[in-house]
Amino acid sequence: MRMLILGIGDAFTSMHFSSGALIEGPQGYVLIDCSDLIHRALREGTSKAGWNIDIAGIDDIIVTHLHGDHCNGLESFGFHRRIMRLQKPAMIRPRLHVTEPVARRLWERLGPAMHTPIGDNRPSTLEDYFEVRTLDPSHPATIAGFTVQCRFTKHPVPTIGLLIGDGEKTLGWSSDTPFEQAHVDWLSQADLIVHESNTGTSHTPIELLNGLPPSIRGKMRLIHLPDNFDSTRTTIKILREGDVLQP
């Protein structure tokens, strides 16, 4: 299992791509969130890491929540893959893995831009672009050969953290969340944890992560940072775009 970091920035970044990652698994690639400029983020990240992959080879996307810095790229991704499928009918619809509250509002979010007819004279639907699969926090899902567990955070919109395992190692992904000890304890099952840190009541202050036991801080990596984040405020490793993680 390898995770390529595509973005480390927050919603207001002018220096980075918004937070997201690509995981290489036993049965394919899984995109975690799909931010603005997803094509460029993939090109730059894979170029730094030496990976030969673009959206044509990504069939699974996990969307943690519907804030724009985590899902705006779905429009471009969906349009591009659908046009590619007109040229290559054997190409499948990408599978979109979301919780039920996100699934309920997904087309409300995407429809105003994506309802346009493509290849025929009828309005497009969500199903023309994606195969939607529902994630249930009470039951693990299988995605590209991974076992994926999710847990709701306390973010203002329905948001999930993730535990992604290949049978040997597990990656934890906090997603957007205020500090919550129960969420940290859940993520601590992982061999490596990618955790957000930012300001405001909807995110996790670095001071609270600094107060965690060394055993947790040692396997934690930071993401979703403000552009002015002061790296001297913590000994927890800060991730960079193009980093490749192996738990």
pLDDT digits (tens, 9 = 90+) for 98-118: 999 999 999 999 999 999 998
Residue range(s) defining the domain that contains residue 229: 2-245
- Give the pLDDT confidence of 7-64 residue by residue, as tens digits: 999 999 999 999 999 999 899 999 999 999 999 999 999 999 999 999 999 999 999 9
Query: CB 184: neighbour CB atoms within 10 A?
Result: 22
- Give the pLDDT confidence of 130-189 residue by residue, as tens digits: 999 999 999 999 999 999 999 999 999 999 999 999 999 999 999 999 999 999 999 999
pLDDT, residue 136, reads 98
Output the six-digit token pair for 199: 């300001």
Give me the helix-helix angle, 38-49 and 73-87, nearest 10°.
80
Percent of the chain with pLDDT strictly greater than 70: 100
- Tell me phi and psi for residue 145, to 5 degrees: 85, -5
User: How many domains, in total, are found in the chain?
Assistant: 1
Q: Quick check: 7 and 34 in contact, CB under 8 A?
A: no
- In CATH, what number is assigned to the domain containing residue 175? 3.60.15.10
